[in-house]
Structure 1
Amino acid sequence: MNNVGSYHVDGVPDLSEDLENWMSRLPHELKQTPIIYLAIPGSHDSFTSKITSDSELAPDAEDSIKKLSFLGSLLKVFLVKWSRTQTYMAHDQLIRGIRYFDLRIGTRSGNQDLFIVHGLYSAAVQSCLDEISAFLDTHTQEVVILDFQHFYGFTQNEHDRLMQMINKTFGAKLLPYNQHMNYVTLEYMTTQYRYQVICIYRSDAARFGQPLLWPSRSFPNPWPNTVSKTYLYEYLHNGLKNRPAKLGYITQCILTPPGWYIFKHLYSSLKKKCAIKLEESRSNWIENQSPGEGGMNIIIADFIELSDCKYVKEVVNVNQKLILNNKRY
Structure 2
Amino acid sequence: MYQNVIDSDLQDGIDSKDLAKNLEHWMTELPQQLRRVPIIYLAIPGSHDSFTVDITMNSKVAPDAEKILQKLQCLLCLRYIMARWSKTQSYSASEQLRSGIRFFDLRIATKEREDNLYFVHGLYSDEVQTVLDDIVSFLETHPQEVVILDCQHFYGFTRQTHIRFMQLLTSTFGAKLLPYTEHMDFLTLEYLTTLFGYQVITVYRSDEARFGQPLLWPSANFPNPWPNTYNQTDLFNDLDSGLKSRSLSVGFVSQCILTPSLSYIFKNLFSNLKDKCGFDLEDIRTRWISKQCPGPNGGFNIVIADFVDLSDNLFAKTVINLNLKLLNVQNLKPCYPILTIVNEANNKY
Q: Does 1:213 align with 2:216?
A: yes
How far did residue 69 of structure 1 move?
2.2
- Residue type matched to 2:199 in 1? Q
How far did residue 63 of structure 1 move?
1.6
Tell me if structure 1 keeps the 8 A contact 2:293–2:322.
Answer: yes
Tell me if structure 2 keeps the 8 A contact 1:34–1:183.
Answer: yes
How far did residue 245 of structure 1 move?
2.4
Tell me if structure 1 keeps the 8 A contact 2:325–2:331.
Answer: no
How far did residue 328 of structure 1 move?
9.4
CA distance in 1, matches of 2:56, 2:288: 33
Alignment of structure 1 residues 285-296 onto 2, 5 Å:
285-293=288-296, 294-296=298-300
**Secondary structure of 1:26's aligned partner:** coil
How far did residue 207 of structure 1 move?
3.5
Per-residue CA distance 1:22-78 (angstroms, 9 max, x = gap): 0000000100000000000000000000111111000000123223324x2111111
CA distance in 2, matches of 1:205, 1:125: 22
Q: Does 1:82 align with 2:70?
A: no
How far did residue 295 of structure 1 move?
1.3
Tell me if structure 2 keeps the 8 A contact 1:206–1:213.
Answer: no
Q: Does 1:52 align with 2:21?
A: no
Q: Does 1:317 align with 2:332?
A: no
**Secondary structure of 1:319's aligned partner:** helix
Q: Does 1:107 align with 2:80?
A: no
Q: Which residue of 2 aligns with 1:30?
A: 34
Q: 1:68 aligns with which of 40, 48, 72?
A: 72
Q: Does 1:165 align with 2:171?
A: no
- Taking structure 2 as the reference length, the TM-score comes to 0.89
Alignment of structure 1 residues 114-129 onto 2, 5 Å:
114-129=117-132
Alignment of structure 1 residues 1-329 onto 2, 5 Å:
11-70=15-74, 72-293=75-296, 294-325=298-329
Structure having the higher Rg:
2
- Residue type matched to 1:79 in 2? M
Tell me if structure 2 keeps the 8 A contact 1:16–1:317.
Answer: yes
Counting helix residues as a fraction of each chain, which structure ranks higher? 2
CA distance in 1, matches of 2:208, 2:197: 27
- Taking structure 1 as the reference length, the TM-score comes to 0.95
Per-residue CA distance 1:230-260 (angstroms, 9 max, x = gap): 0000000000000012110000000000110
- Residue type matched to 1:119 in 2? G
**Secondary structure of 1:20's aligned partner:** helix
- Residue type matched to 1:277 in 2? D
- Residue type matched to 1:321 in 2? K
Q: Note closer, same or farther for the CA distance 1:87–1:284 as it changes in structure 2 (3 Å cut).
A: same
How far did residue 325 of structure 1 move?
3.9
Per-residue CA distance 1:275-308 (angstroms, 9 max, x = gap): 1111000111011100001511000000100000
Structure 2, unaligned runs of 5 or more:
1-13, 334-349
How far did residue 327 of structure 1 move?
8.8
- Residue type matched to 1:75 in 2? L
CA distance in 2, matches of 1:115, 1:25: 34
Tell me if structure 1 keeps the 8 A contact 2:294–2:300.
Answer: yes
Per-residue CA distance 1:303-323 (angstroms, 9 max, x = gap): 100000001100000001001
**Secondary structure of 2:161's aligned partner:** helix
CA distance in 1, matches of 2:224, 2:109: 20
